[in-house]
């Protein structure tokens, strides 16, 4: 069976991939993740996922390489990672009572077989109306400064959500495992 490589520096993607109980290695792709001027969001996410996978695949031509990236959108605007507590407070206040759409790109490449599979998976959350106390408590008790939109759904953020909709709940954490297993099976890499 071919070597499996996750092209990512995300601990969340690594944890998700471990759920499949597959042997894999991780290589950080170190690419420029800037959005091009006027670039449509689905094209942007697909491009980043592809570039991450391709950068690693170029030096691992007989491996199966997985790249992924994610953005959160509210009212058509991209929400990045907050990085600071002040930014997290602003983000969470802006999310209160609104719908957030998470767009997660995935790309699976095997150069030796000349195969590339890529797509974007959408998942949405309708947030509860959040009080200042809820926001403060969430920030104080959750490590979410590196999560798009300050939402760490696999942690306390689940308590901030009124409703969730989508085809693949793992996509919101950063790696759509349902889509991934489909792509791996197309490459003869059976998960179960």
Rama region for 21: left / alpha / beta (φ>0; ψ in -120 to 50; rest)? left
Q: Please list, in sequence order, all residues whose beta carbon lies within 8 angstroms of the beta carbon of residue 11, skipping any fewer than 6 positions away.
A: none
The active-site residue, picked from 32, 62, 69, 75, is 69
Q: Which two tokens stand for residue 116?
A: 């590339």
The answer to whether 168 is a known catalytic residue is: no
Length of the chain: 192
Q: How is residue 147 annotated by DSSP?
A: S
Q: What's the CA dihedral at 160, 167, 102, 29 to 10 degrees?
A: 120
- Positions annotated as catalytic residues are 69
């Amino acid at each position: 069976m071919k070597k499996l490589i996750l092209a990512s520096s995300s601990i969340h993607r690594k944890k998700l991939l471990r759920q499949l109980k597959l042997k894999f290695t991780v290589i950080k792709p170190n690419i420029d993740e800037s959005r091009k001027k006027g670039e449509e969001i689905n094209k942007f996410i697909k491009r980043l996922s592809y570039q991450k996978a391709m950068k690693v695949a170029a030096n691992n031509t007989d491996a199966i390489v997985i790249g992924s990236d994610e953005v959160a959108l509210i009212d058509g605007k991209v929400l990045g990672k907050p990085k600071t507590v002040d930014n997290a407070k602003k983000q969470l206040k802006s999310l209160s009572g609104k719908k957030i759409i998470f767009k997660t790109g995935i790309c699976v490449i095997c150069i030796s077989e000349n195969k590339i599979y890529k797509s974007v998976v959408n998942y949405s959350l309708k947030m509860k109306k959040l009080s200042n106390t809820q926001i403060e408590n969430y920030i104080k008790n959750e490590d979410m400064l590196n999560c798009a939109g300050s939402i760490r759904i696999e942690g306390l953020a689940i308590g901030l959500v009124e409703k969730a909709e989508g085809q693949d709940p793992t996509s919101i954490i950063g790696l759509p495992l349902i889509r991934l297993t489909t792509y791996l099976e197309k490459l003869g890499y059976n998960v179960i």
